[in-house]
Structure 1
Amino acid sequence: MTTTALIARRQGRVVVVDVTWGVALALAAVAAALVGAALAEGAAWRAWALVAAVGVWGLRLSWHIHRRSGGGEDPRYKRLLGGPLDDVGMGVAVRKVFLLQGAAVCLVALPVTIGAVVDVEWHPLVAVGAVVWLVGVLFEAVGDAQLAAYRAQPRATRPPVLDTGLWRFTRHPNYFGDACVWWGTWLAGGLASGWVAGLATVVAPATMTYYLVFATGARPLEENMMQRPAYRDYARRTSMFVPLPPRRSAAPPTLGG
């Protein structure tokens, strides 16, 4: 986060922290596996499996965000900081963004760091977690690819909203996939280590899901999108988060599940 803060100061925008997010979690997984190996604690095969899982997810996400990012600041960060970075200063950015993001990395990585130094108690849960993780990665990657293909169409001829593919069943398949990745990681790295480890680490996927739905993900993103009549119609028939069959009635938008 210190390195990212220096890059942000140079570029005059804090949105670069979004690229760091996936890389930081992958590095946390590597560090945990190395600590587990040095202490000769935990199951090495699971520790490095978690490194592979978090690495695949994190590096794909960071590369995707880097590739699509433009040269300006994200409006979410302008609202959070109270203005552009050049106006509010780096001190505000460090307190409101980089310190919090660093703490969030430590929190979200708990199932990985605990799983690297604790033995596996329930092996079947590692396999279940791997399946949930795979579902999440597929939802996230396919959803991102479908959105990129939609945006690549000429604005004058493309549909007013993306409501095909995974986007037919959930308005945010990438956020849903992200949540599945971390619930799968918790099953494999936290709960598979026993009830104590599971209860001690469940805060990680729960917090991640809260932020993906309410704090920085789906809900804030839709504040502006709901001003478009076509998107409101789409929201009435499509689940917000959990994939569900489209509704035929004109019911109000719901979280879906």
Structure 2
Amino acid sequence: MTAWEQFGTITVVSALLLAALQAVTFAVGHRIGRYNVVDVSWGLGFVLVAAVSAVLGDGDPGRRVLLLVLVAVWGLRLSWHMHRKSAGRGEDPRYRELLGRAGGASLGTVARKIFATQGAAQWFVSLPVQLSAVLGPAHGAGRAVMAVGVALWAVGAYFEAVGDRQLRAFKADSANRGRIMDSGLWAWTRHPNYFGDACVWWGLWLVCAGVWPGVVTVASPIAMTYFLVYATGARLLEQTMSRRPGYREYQARTAYFLPRPPRR
């Protein structure tokens, strides 16, 4: 089997498994009456694709294992965090607004706007991982590019994990009720978790880009960044948060996405 035939097998199997995962998640969300359970399956879907790629691919074994480990560490932590965040709570305001603009929460609208969209996004964003599984080893400058990718992944994982932990600790303190989280990483960017997510996927793309033609999958991290900044991430959250007292002031002194020292 040629490398491109392997890639075709990996991408088809990945698409089918992601469709099954989203179908199960949709059924669970419908049963419990809230569809933010889709956030739990977000990281799990990428882990599933990375595992399929590592098993079915015949490319450089070291890079296949590396990508599986990086995606699994990121994805499993994120899914566990989203489970803890959403368990026992109501619907996420982002999804209420999304469905409201789409004309209501009919089953067809929910399936199309939330679950089908997320499944397609998971498949497209994970293309670097899928393609990398069938490529040979990196040499020379390609190894340096891969090393930069791992370092960028580490920066992203730090921002995301630490930012989530800081926010969870802030919310757990009753003295902070009604206040805006503006310390730690949240003083440098209003969305350290989303920024970290973007860095993770640009880093994973660089690991793939160290070997030709991995670089051609650059549209995948671009799409992930678009989702995080404009589609279902920061922009929707800002629309909700801007109604809270003190958030306008927080916006004035803190960077939107890319971190920078806070203004006085």
How far residue 159 of structure 1 moved from its aligned partner, in angstroms, is 7.8
How far residue 88 of structure 1 moved from its aligned partner, in angstroms, is 3.5
Structure 1 residue aligned with 2:197: 178
Q: Residue 12 and residue 239 in structure 1: after superposition, are their counterparts in 2 closer, same or farther (change >3 A)?
A: same
Structure 2 residue aligned with 1:78: 96
Aligned ranges 1:154-173 → 2 under 5 Å: 154-155=174-175, 160-173=179-192
Q: Residue 182 and residue 7 in structure 1: after superposition, are their counterparts in 2 closer, same or farther (change >3 A)?
A: same
Structure 2 residue aligned with 1:128: 148
Cα distance in 2, alignment partners of residues 219 and 80 from structure 1: 12
Structure 1 residue aligned with 2:166: 146
User: Percent identical across equivalent pairs?
Assistant: 51
How far residue 18 of structure 1 moved from its aligned partner, in angstroms, is 0.6
**1:208 maps onto 2:224 in alignment:** yes
Cα distance in 2, alignment partners of residues 232 and 120 from structure 1: 50
How far residue 131 of structure 1 moved from its aligned partner, in angstroms, is 0.5
SS of equivalent to 2:89: coil
Q: Which amino acid aligns with 1:168?
A: A
Structure 1 residue aligned with 2:42: 21
Structure 2 residue aligned with 1:253: none
Q: Which amino acid aligns with 1:180?
A: C
Q: Which amino acid aligns with 2:187?
A: R
SS of equivalent to 1:73: coil
Aligned ranges 1:1-257 → 2 under 5 Å: 1-36=22-57, 41-69=58-86, 70-82=88-100, 88-121=105-138, 122-155=142-175, 160-189=179-208, 191-194=209-212, 196-199=213-216, 201-248=217-264
How far residue 91 of structure 1 moved from its aligned partner, in angstroms, is 2.3
Kindly provide the CA deviation profile for residues 199-242 of structure 1, in whole angstroms up to 9, marking residues without a partner as x: 2x111111111111111111211113223342211111111111
The alignment covers a number of residue pairs equal to 239
**TM-score, structure 2 length as denominator?**
0.85
Q: Indicate conservation of the 8 Å contact 2:242/2:248, yes or no.
A: yes
SS of equivalent to 2:199: helix
How far residue 97 of structure 1 moved from its aligned partner, in angstroms, is 1.6
How far residue 9 of structure 1 moved from its aligned partner, in angstroms, is 2.0
Q: Residue 169 and residue 71 in structure 1: after superposition, are their counterparts in 2 closer, same or farther (change >3 A)?
A: closer
Q: Which amino acid aligns with 1:173?
A: P
Kindly provide the CA deviation profile for residues 124-180 of structure 1, in whole angstroms up to 9, marking residues without a partner as x: 11111110001100100000010011101114x568222211111111111110110
Unaligned runs of 5+ residues in structure 2 are 1-21
Q: Indicate conservation of the 8 Å contact 2:93/2:240, yes or no.
A: no
**TM-score, structure 1 length as denominator?**
0.87
Cα distance in 1, alignment partners of residues 263 and 53 from structure 2: 45
SS of equivalent to 1:163: coil
Q: Which amino acid aligns with 1:166?
A: L
Cα distance in 1, alignment partners of residues 45 and 29 from structure 2: 16
